[in-house]
Structure 1
Amino acid sequence: MPTLFDPISFGAIAAPNRVVMAPLTRGRATREHVPQPLMADYYAQRASAGLIITEATGISRQGLGWPFAPGLWTDEQTEAWKPIVAAVHAAGGRIVAQLWHMGRIVHSSIGGAQPVSSSATTAPGQAHTYDGKQDYEEARPLRLDEFPGLLDDYERATKNAKVAGFDGVQIHAANGYLIDQFLRDNSNFRTDDYGGHPENRIRLLREVTERVAGVIGADRTAVRLSPNGNSQGVKDSNPEAVFVPAAKALAEIGIAFLELREPGPDGTFGRSDQPRLSPEIRQVFPGPLVLNSDYLGDTAQAALDSGVADAISFGRTFLANPDLPERLRTGAPLNPDNMATWYSQGPEGYIDYPTLESVAAE
Structure 2
Amino acid sequence: MTELVNGKGLSLVPKTDVKQSLKDFKSDQEVRWCPGCGDYAILAAVQSFLPELGLKRENIVFVSGIGCSSRFPYYLNTYGFHSIHGRAPAIATGLAASRPDLSVWVITGDGDALSIGGNHLIHALRRNVNLNILLFNNRIYGLTKGQYSPTSELGKITKSTPMGSLDKPFNPISLAIGAEASFVARTIDSDRKHLQSVLREATAHRGTSLVEIYQNCNIFNDNAFEPLKDPEVRDDITLRLEHGQPIVSASKAVVRGASGGIEVVPRDSVSEDQILVHDAHNPDPSVAFALSRLDEPAFEHVPIGIFRNVDRPSYDSLMADQLEEAVAQQGPGDLGDLLMGGDTWRIA
TM-score by length of 1: 0.27
Please say which structure displays the higher CA radius of gyration.
Answer: 2
TM-score by length of 2: 0.27
**Which is bigger in relative contact order (C-alpha 8 A, separation at least 6)?**
1
